[in-house]
């Protein structure tokens, strides 16, 4: 989802909520700590982990996927027959971890609970930082 589309959706939600007489706010924040999670709001207030609820877009989580494919040919070993180039099926339901946790310096979009001090951290408003893995 593009940042502009998310921004427009948040504007519409804020307008509808205000019209219903139960206003809530959205704001931007910058992650200034991760253990514990701490976010500095654009108004310079600092919100600590106990006042934050996280969506899957900003936290690590596990999910099950179903796979059905064949691995690529790969050889190995010292030339023995059992290590000859081969492939095999990779099937079934597998659990994977999605690494979406926040990193210091990332900017996030938050919704403030109406009349309260709690915030829902909805999403980043820019690409992930600190990516690592085979593409990193």
Q: For the segment 9-56, what is each residue's pLDDT rounded down to a tens digit? A: 777 777 776 655 556 688 999 999 999 999 999 878 999 999 999 999
pLDDT at res. 109: 94
pLDDT at res. 37: 97
For residues 124 and 108, the answer to whether their CB atoms sit within 8 Å is yes
Could you identify the residue written with the tokens 């010292």? 78
Class in CATH terms, 1-60+99-127: mainly beta
| pLDDT exceeds cutoff 80 at 88 | no
Token pair of 66 as six digits: 């179903």
Q: Which phi and psi (to 5°) does residue 82 adopt?
A: -70, -10
Give CA–CA dist 4/123, Å, rounded: 13
Average pLDDT over the chain reads 83
Could you give the residue range(s) of every CATH 2.40.50.140 domain in the chain? 1-60+99-127
């Amino acid at each position: 989802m593009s940042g502009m589309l998310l921004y427009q959706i948040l504007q519409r939600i804020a307008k509808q909520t205000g019209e219903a007489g139960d206003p809530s706010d959205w704001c931007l924040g910058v992650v200034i700590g991760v253990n514990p999670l701490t976010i500095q709001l654009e108004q310079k207030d600092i919100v600590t982990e106990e006042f934050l609820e996280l969506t899957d877009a900003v936290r690590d989580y596990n999910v099950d996927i179903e796979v059905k494919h064949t691995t690529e040919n790969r050889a190995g070993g010292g030339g023995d027959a059992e290590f000859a180039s081969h492939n095999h099926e990779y099937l079934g339901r597998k659990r994977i971890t999605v690494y979406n946790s926040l990193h210091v310096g990332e900017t996030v979009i938050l919704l403030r609970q109406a009349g309260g001090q709690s915030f829902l951290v909805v999403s980043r408003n820019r690409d992930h930082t600190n990516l690592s893995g085979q593409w990193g």
